[in-house]
Structure 1
Amino acid sequence: MLTIFFVCYFFKSNREIVYVDTVKLFDGFMMTKEMKRAGEKEFNSRKSILDNLYSNLQSPTITASEKKELMQQFIQGKEELEQFNQTFASEQTTKIWSRIKSYTTEFSKDKNYQLVIGADNRQTVLFADEKIDVTNDLLTYLNKKYEGL
C-alpha cells in the first residue's frame, strides 16, 4: 500500500513540474511578432532617411558648407538610429516578458502546475523528459489570451 502511494505521488508531483523552451516561447508569441514588425517598420523608416542623407553627401554638386551640415545630420541620425534600436528592443522585450509571465501564471493555475521551469534551448536544464515539455501548450495559451480568445 505504501509503495502504491509513493508511485502515485511520484507521478502526480512530476506532472506539477514542467518546463518550456523560452526561446521558442518568446519567438512564437504573437506579441513578439507584432512588436518586431513595428520595430522593423520604424527602423526602415529611419534608415531610409539616413540613406537619403548619405546619398546627398555623395553628390558632387554640393558645397562644402552643405556637406558639413549634411554630415552633422547624418551622424546625429545614425546615433539616434542606434539609440532607437537599443531602447526599442529593451523596452519591448521587457513588455513581452511581463505579458508572458502574467499569462504563464494563469496557465499554471489552470493546469495545476506548481513549477514551470524556463530553459533556453535546454542549456540550463541538463535533462528533461519530453513528456513534461509544455512549450507548445503554453504558446497556444499565450497566443489565444493575447488575441482575446
Structure 2
Amino acid sequence: MFLQVKFERYYWLKFNLNIRFFIAEIVLLLKKITSKTVFENKFRILIITNIALFLLIVVGAATFFIANNSPKIVFVDNVKLFDGFNMTKELKKRGEQEFNSRKKVLDSLYAVLQQEGASEIQKEAITRELIAKKQEFEAFNQQFATEESAKIWSRINGYTSDFSKDKNYDFILGSENKRSVLFAKETVDITNELILYINKKYEGNQ
C-alpha cells in the first residue's frame, strides 16, 4: 500500500513540474506578444488560450484518475464488532446457561462440605470431588471461550470479505477500541455499518 502511494505521489509531483515548465513557456510567449502586430497578437492569444484550456483538462483528468485509483481504506472497532454480532450474543447466552449449571454443582458440593456431622472420610471424598469439578469447570470456561471465539471470528471474517467486495474496499483495518489507530475521520469508521451487514447475513444463513 505504502509503495503504491509513494509511486502515485512521485508521478504526480513529476507531472506538476512539467506543467510548471510549460506555464513558464507560456509566460515567455506573452512577453513576446507586445512586439507583434495586432493580428499576430490575436492569433497567439488564441493559441495560448487553447493551451491553457488543454492544461486545465489534463490537470482535472489527472486529479480524477489519482483520486479514483488511491486505495480505499476504512477501519472497524473489533471489540464493538464482536460484541454487536448476533452470533456472539447467542453463544454467550448458551455459555452462561452451561456456566450456571456447572456452578450449581460446585455450590452444592461446597454446601455439603460445610455441613456439620460429616465424617473426615466423607469430607475428604467431597473435597476430592469438589476439586475435580472445579478443574472441569475452569477447563470448560477456557475451552468454550477459545472455541466459540474462533467460530465467531471465522464467520465475521467471511462476512467482512463479502462486505469489502460489495463496497469495493481495498483495506479494512481492525483495531481494539481504536488503540492501534492514532487518528481517523468518522467517515472511515464503518463499524456500525458492518455490524448491520454481518447480522443480516447471519440471520439469513442460519
Which category describes the TM-score, using the shorter chain as reference length?
Answer: over 0.9
What residue is the counterpart of 2:136 in the other structure? 80
1:29 to 1:114, Cα distance in 2 relative to 1, 3 A: same
Partner of 1:125 in structure 2?
181
Deviations 1:6-54, CA, capped at 9 Å, x for gaps: 5434554567211111110001000111111111110110000000000
1:46 maps to: 102
2:74 aligned to which of 9, 13, 18: 18
Corresponding letter in the other structure for 2:152: I
Gaps of 5+ in 2: 1-56
Structure 2 CA distance for aligned equivalents of residues 93 and 15 of structure 1: 31
Shift of 1:3: 3.8
Change over 3 Å in CA distance of 1:62–1:17 after alignment to 2: same
Give the partner amino acid of 1:76. Answer: A
Return the letter of the residue paired with 1:110.
D
Q: 2:93 aligns with which of 21, 37, 43?
A: 37
Q: Matched residues in 1 for 2:69 and 2:177: separation?
A: 24
Counterpart mapping for 1:61-72 below 5 A: 61-72=117-128
Q: TM-score if structure 1 supplies the norm length?
A: 0.93
Is the alpha carbon distance of 1:31 and 1:79 closer, same or farther for their aligned partners in structure 2, counting shifts above 3 Å?
same
Q: CA deviation at 1:63?
A: 1.4
Higher helix share: 2
Q: Indicate the SS of the match to 2:122.
A: helix
> For the structure 1 residues 126 and 85, does the alpha-carbon distance in structure 2 shift closer, same or farther, using more than 3 Å as the test?
same
Distance 1:2 1:89 in 2: 58
- When normalised by structure 2's length, the TM-score is 0.68
Give yes or no for contact 2:71–2:171 (8 Å, CA) kept in 1.
no
Query: CA separation in 2, counterparts of 1:14 and 1:128?
Result: 17
Give the 3 Å change call, closer, same or farther, for CA 84–100 of structure 1 in structure 2. Answer: same
- 3-state DSSP of counterpart to 1:147: helix
Contact kept? 1:18, 1:132, Cα under 8 Å: yes
For the aligned residues, what is the CA RMSD? Answer: 1.7
Please state how far the C-alpha of 1:122 moved relative to its aligned partner.
1.0
Q: Which has the larger radius of gyration?
A: 2
